[in-house]
């Protein structure tokens, strides 16, 4: 199976912008989905596809893709955005059909 690589941790000052990246060969073909996971909770999708944000997700969350890298940007990070973030896509090899990123811990200072 292929892999999706994320930076283990990033920090951002309150109200500033942070970008989380996800790298992998699958992303040249498939769009990433992004999940936010707070301690003790299930992941929640915050962005997916080319430009889709689920209902109820603040518009400060946005996504993009370039080559083999997908990015999730939080514009004007809030304290409640502190969480682990995982990317996910279909797997280029198809077996297994999905691959998850290694996860990024976002700390809001």
Partner 1 sequence: QVQLQESGPGLVKASQTLSLTCTVSGGSISSGSYYWNWIRQPAGKGLEWIGHIYTDGRTNYNPSLRSRVTISLDTSENQFSLRLTSVTAADTAVYYCVRDSPQLVLPFDYWGQGTLVTVSS
Comparing CB distances to partner 1, the nearer of 49 and 58 is 49
Query: Do the beta carbons of residue 44 and residue 36 sit within 8 Å?
Result: yes
Stretch that binds partner 1, among 16-24, 43-51, 65-73, 75-83 (CB under 8 A): 43-51
43, 63, 74, 81: residue in contact with partner 1 (rule CB under 8 A): 43
38, 80, 98, 107: residue in contact with partner 1 (rule CB under 8 A): 98
- Mask for 5-24, x = binds partner 1 (CB under 8 A): --------------------
Q: Which of 38, 70, 73 is nearest to 58 (CA)?
A: 73
Query: Do the beta carbons of residue 41 and residue 80 sit within 8 Å?
Result: no
Contacts of 65 (CB under 8 A, 6+ apart): 27, 31, 32, 50, 71
Q: Which residues bind partner 1 (CB under 8 A)?
A: 1, 30-31, 33, 35, 41-45, 48-50, 52, 54, 86, 88, 90, 95-103
């Amino acid at each position: 199976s292929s892999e999706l690589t994320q930076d283990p941790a990033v920090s951002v000052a309150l109200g500033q912008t942070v970008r989380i990246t996800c790298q992998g060969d699958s992303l040249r073909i498939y769009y990433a989905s992004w999940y936010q996971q707070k301690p003790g909770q299930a992941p929640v999708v915050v962005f997916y596809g080319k430009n889709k944000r689920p209902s109820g997700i603040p518009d400060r969350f946005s996504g993009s893709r370039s080559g083999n890298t997908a990015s999730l940007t939080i514009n004007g990070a809030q304290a409640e955005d502190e969480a682990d973030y995982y990317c996910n896509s279909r797997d280029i090899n198809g077996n297994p059909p999905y691959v998850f990123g290694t996860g990024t811990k976002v700390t809001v200072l």
